[in-house]
Structure 1
C-alpha cells in the first residue's frame, strides 16, 4: 500500500505542513556510539578507529555530494573530562571522518560517547 500526499493537516483544518518539509527535514544519517561501538543508528554501517580521537563513520547508503550538513557532539572520556569537541576533517559521499579534541589545548582524545546527525540528499 502506498500513501501519496502533498500536505498534512490537523483534524481541525486550521494548520498543516507541506510534505516537502517533513521529507526534506529528516536526518539521512544519525548515530549514537560509545567509542567505536554503535549503540543505535540510521544509515551507519560501521565506525573505524583510526587512532586516538580519530574516527571514520561509514554510511550504508551514499550521499549525492560531500556537501552535506553535519552536527555532532563528543562527550566525556574515561578520565571524566567533559570539554570535548567534534571536528570534521574529511567527508566523502560514503563516509565522514572526525577528530574528538579537547577545547583547552586541541589535543585528540578518545571520547566516551559520540552523537552525529547528517542532513543531505542520498544518492
Structure 2
C-alpha cells in the first residue's frame, strides 16, 4: 500500500504517516488544493485527508478515517466522515469499540419507520377521497 501526497500539501515537523494514507484534494478547488499538516501529527493507516484546510499540531487521525474539514490543535479524529472525539483538556468517555451502532442498520430502521408513516398517510388520504366521492 502506498502513500499519496498531493502537490500542494504542506507537512510539518515530526509527522508520522503510515501506509495507505492519502493527503489529497477533492477536485473542487484550484490553487492550494491539499491539506496543511501541523507538527507532531500522526496519520494512521488508510486515513484520507482531503481538501485545502489545516490539520493542527499534535493531532491524531485514526486508521481509515476520512477527514474533510479543519482539525484544531491537540484533537483526535476518527470515522467516516472524520469527527473529533477528543479535544485537549476535555474529558472524553471511553468509546465502546465492541458495541458501536451499525450506521446502515440505524438508517434502515429510520427508513422503515418513515415508510410505515407514509403508508398510514396514504390510507388516510384514500379514505378521505372515498368519503368525498360518497358524499356526491
TM-score normalised by L of structure 1: 0.21
Greater relative contact order, per chain length (Cα 8 Å cut-off, separation 6+) = 1
Q: Which has the higher strand share?
A: 1
Q: Which has the higher helix share?
A: 2
TM-score normalised by L of structure 2: 0.20
